[in-house]
Amino acid sequence: MTDAKDSAFPGAQEMLNMGEQFTRQFFEFMGKQAASLPKGVPQAFVPDADAMSALQQEFAQRHAQLWSHMLKGDSRGTEPVVPAPAGDRRFSSDAWADSPVYDYLRQAYLLNAEYLSRAASDVPMEDGRMKARLQFLTRQFVDAMSPSNFAATNPEFIQAALETKGQSITDGIQNLLKDLEKGRISMTDDEAFEVGRNLATTPGAVIYENELMQLVQYAPLTDKVHQTPLLIVPPCINKFYIMDLQAHNSLVRFIVEQGFTVFLVSWKNPKETEAGASWDEYLDKGPLTALDIVRRVTRVKQPHVLGFCVGGTLLTSALAVARARGETPVASLSLMTTLLDFSDAGEIGCLVDEAMVAAREATIGKGGLLPGQELANVFSALRANDLVWQYVVGNYLKGGKPAAFDLLYWNSDSTNLPGPFLAWYLRNMYLENNLRVPGRLRMLGQKVDLGKVDMPAYLMAAREDHIVPWHSAYLARNLLGGETRFVLGASGHIAGAINPASKNRRSYWVSDAECAAAEDWLETAEERPGSWWLDWMEWLKPRAGKMVAARGRLGSKDFEAIEPAPGRYVKERAS
């Protein structure tokens, strides 16, 4: 084989050595960071010498194979030695394969990226949280160093510049300047959407509001409705209209069309006046107040309830408080991608440690706001290639404009969080995992026990969810006191949950088996095509009482309509 050092190909040896050099530097850096950690942790950053040597030899051989393949000449039309992972669109353009230089560059990068990822994965560490953080940091570096992210190493940048006679460069600079002024990367055409005009358009009215939430009641779309209403509690870390985007993909409209009287909590985007709000205040002025009003308006003592993500954690906590008070608050509980046991809290969990939580407690724990954009940046970093670098390349390098996409508009519509609420949530859920322990947490003066939340429960998780791992969502079956049905949807945290029945795409898994372990349950599960929404309706409708004439009036004498849905709160932007 021709030695890379003797080749005329520029940078070959540097690319060949990149993986080994960075790995050494990376672990040296992590070792220095570990010096401030408890005794015994620093040595955990040192990889096993034999395993690392074998890994280096394997990748040296693969680099040699790649180099030999490239020296044979024109590789167009042949299968790459190092194919891109499934779903990776960074190198899908023909421009990467048309040039042997760029073809080698992308394959060498992919090889080094795999090497670094495996090196981080193979480090022997007893602390699972620290290992997950190491893998997260490695992925951030690997994603950022992709040749597709830089003008000098991206042939699509050069191609676009030639085709537009340099206009793409000018447009890219203008896009960058506009985004710098806006304070975030543009992911969609912001002017294409407006909440209340073509998003969150299901008809209804706000019938109550306090300093933390508005309660929306939706107008019936059927002549008759189920006697038992449904209250929806969405997450407070983003806007509720992910559940009511447009008519064809609105979960809210779907439920109303199924003959349910639907109420929904619309959380306020907190400002300085709400900066001192605590977890207890969110429970009291959110789900518990909403439940009281739903009962008074409909005169039904036990509504159904649905919680999504953090909204599900809040809702279940509120029900635990009600049960501790001796109340039987609801007829059934449905949870979408919700954590109650945080022992494996996904990729967010690896970022939460004692130092981080203590810092938040010291800065905003007694009062203050976590800016919405900071929270949005964290979620974007979890999928940097899809939510960061794709738009850096498209907007700035190629001078393009992102397409109009309702989901990404919602994703960019960030919300602030009150510091006391956030600090309590991070410590008691992500860091100490206290909610699962009966009696350990006191909320609104009550010791809570999830085992007393004993109404029938429908639990939905998503198989590719990186925010709420489905194995962890499954653990709720071991905590709640009533009968449960668990359903596993395809795709991720949002696409798995918001899977419109009108399109009936993807699939879901169901099983009646009562297994303690998630994997045991999955072995018994049957995969069904289409949306899990239909399965949920089959479960919910028999519990929803008889059909009665739909009421034409929204609210009641005590709770008159304040303004049309979706209300003011959801339209407020994070400052």
Give me the catalytic one of 236, 309, 350, 515: 309
Q: Is 505 helix (H, G, I), strand (E, B) or coil?
A: coil
Known active-site residue 236: no
Dig out the tokens for 464 from the structure: 């590719």
Q: What does the alpha-carbon distance between residue 417 and residue 424 come to, in Å, rounded to a whole number?
A: 12
Residue positions counted in the chain:
575
What DSSP line would sit under 235-277, residue for residue? -SSB-GGGGSSSGGG-HHHHHHHTT--EEEEEE----GGGTT-
Can you tell me the distance from the alpha carbon of 254 to that of 245, in angstroms, rounded to the nearest whole number?
11
Phi/psi of residue 219, nearest 5 degrees: -70, 145
**CA torsion sign, 150 to 151 to 153 to 157?**
positive
Helices in 441-529 by DSSP H: which ranges? 470-474, 518-524
CA 445 – CA 283 distance, rounded (Å)? 12
Please, are residues 383 and 139 in contact by the beta-carbon 8 Å criterion?
no
Residue 390: left (phi > 0), alpha (psi -120 to 50), or beta? alpha
Q: Which residues contact 226 (CB under 8 A, 6 or more apart)?
A: 259, 260, 261, 541, 544, 545, 546, 547, 548
Contact yes or no for 476/485 (Cβ under 8 A): no
Buried b (16+ CB within 10 A) or exposed e, 396-415: bbbbbebeeebebbbbbbbb
Active site residues: 309
